[in-house]
Amino acid sequence: MIRDVVGSKNYNVWMEMLRRLVPHGRTHRLSVVVASMLQVAYEIAQEKEGSNSKARQLFSIFESAYEHDDENGIKPLLEITEQVFKDAKVGFKRVNRKSSGYSIAEEAVHEFLNWGAMPWEA
């Protein structure tokens, strides 16, 4: 769905970036890169929502996620974010030193939802 909204050219560049960065990248850096992609997709979806049904659908998913409604908001956005990793053919699940599993996709969604948060300015 994101490809349809941002265009194949942008999406293909993102896929190449993820293929190169994810295998050896640090989660705290990768999550911000993917959150940036989500932010761009959100802005483009907002611009196109009046004339494009897929953009309208994607924009709705982003807006629902901002409401933090797990079932109807964050979960669909997480699924879209996981699909980005799958499209790039790279893994998004990892295990930390304490053998606890975590997801770069989940971290990216968190970064996206807190895009404008700057606690030091509060």
Q: Flag whether 74 is in a domain.
A: yes
> Into how many domains does the chain fold?
1
Question: Tens of pLDDT along 88-111?
Answer: 999 999 888 888 898 999 999 999
Q: Rounded to whole angstroms, how far apart are CA atoms 75 and 65?
A: 8
Question: Tens of pLDDT along 30-84?
Answer: 999 999 999 999 999 999 999 889 999 999 999 999 887 666 678 999 999 999 9
Q: What is the pLDDT of residue 3?
A: 96
Q: Flag whether 122 is in a domain.
A: no
Residue 98 DSSP label: T
Tell me if 31 sits within 8 A of 107, measured CB to CB.
yes
Residue with tokens 């994101």: 2
Tell me if 77 sits within 8 A of 61, measured CB to CB.
yes
H-state helical runs in the chain:
2-6, 8-21, 27-48, 53-66, 75-88, 104-113
Domain extent for 90: 2-115
Q: What is the pLDDT of residue 66?
A: 84
Q: What is the pLDDT of residue 121?
A: 62
